[in-house]
Structure 1
């Protein structure tokens, strides 16, 4: 028999009103198709374990996210551009995978864990990616904020690249300016781009 964690109940209860039915829908689907699943909280979000991490969900101010721990192995067309998980920004139940589709994904994820399949590790001898080029607007913004500039300079190449790609992927200038302001604010606080997902 699976288990339900009261911390997940509390997480759903304190989520935004629009998010609660989405989280309940995803939670019930996981329990229905994986009766032995164990709930827990990792990195401040609900996780579902079945012979290892199976899937996870999270609620944000304006969207929810859902993903499979080994989703990269069976969700090649996942739209994971700007949201945690593989299904983009879910703002309503109709934007989440349908019941039959979700059931299939859950079964695939369970089979991977049952078979002990691990995601392919990156080989150490792979050629390192060149450092990302800092856009002019980001460089100018950092010049005006010493604290943020110092943090950015100390970042690893991957942490720098995450901010740069987030900025350059913005399709509208208005979006880019908002991201630029947010990036500098977070860097001044010593935060990497994906700091929200690292909280334990």
Structure 2
């Protein structure tokens, strides 16, 4: 077995009693699958690197352990051992509470070897897509003021999605005359006070 990091020894000792044999076993399998592995601590968790690249880690929590393949989202899962994809706190193997929750040693080692190989490829670890930035809808002050004066209409408008708000705003603002605009505004306030979208008449 390659050299071990004393900090991981300490991490395991400080873990809950149920977690210690699980962590020790996973650690041993990592070294068995990849003799060139190096141990380290990152972000307070035991990590394993292969040829300078992160490829897996594990962690112990109050009631479970987790094991994470660094590029797990890119790995094949021929034996269906992954309970979820991606790199997150739970890990691809889900909540591990005992050795019985782990795949067989043979299967685990096969996946570890695949993960080590993948870690040195040019493929980056899959990352979560950034949440789209919400667009800021431009609402004329006079219109915003009119809607806010009607508490029920404002509550509906404020809770609307961007598209629902935009439909009302565009419809009112696009009026060609003041009379048409005022008429549309009156209708809009009535409908929104009733919790209705702009084209509620066409919704079955």
Give TM-score, length-normalised by structure 2.
0.56
1:117 Cα offset (Å): 2.6
Aligned partner of 1:93 in structure 2 is 99
Larger Rg, first or second structure (1 or 2): 2
Shift of 1:107: 1.1
Matched position secondary structure for 2:2: coil
Alignment of 1:3-82 (within 5 A): 3-51=3-51, 52-75=53-76, 78-80=82-84
> For structure 2, which runs of at least 5 residues remain unmatched after alignment?
136-204
Q: CA deviation at 1:85?
A: 1.2
- Rounded Cα–Cα distance in structure 2 between residues aligned with 1:102 and 1:27: 11
Segments of 5+ residues of structure 1 without an aligned counterpart are: 132-200
Please name the residue that 1:160 is paired with: none
- Contact kept? 2:71, 2:126, Cα under 8 Å: no
Write out per-residue CA displacement over residues 92-145 of structure 1, whole angstroms, 9 at most, x where no aligned residue.
001012101111111111111233332356788xx82769xxxxxxxxxxxxxx
Distance 1:120 1:11 in 2: 28
**Residues 100-119 of structure 1 mapped to structure 2, 5 A cutoff:** 100-119=106-125
Q: Say how many residue pairs are matched.
A: 129
Structure 1 residue 65, shift from structure 2 partner: 0.4
CA distance in 2, matches of 1:80, 1:67: 11
1:18/1:117 Cα in 2 relative to 1: closer, same or farther (>3 Å)? same
Match of 1:135 in 2: none
Separation (CA, whole Å) in 1 of partners of 2:121 and 2:44: 28
2:132 aligned to which of 128, 131, 142: 128
SS of equivalent residue, structure 1 residue 119: coil
Question: Relative to 1, partners in 2 of residues 1:120 and 1:19: Cα closer, same or farther, differing over 3 Å?
Answer: closer
Q: Secondary structure, in 3 states, of the residue corresponding to 1:104?
A: helix
* 2:49–2:56 CA contact under 8 A, matched in 1: yes
TM-score, normalization: structure 1?
0.57
Residue matched to 1:84: 90
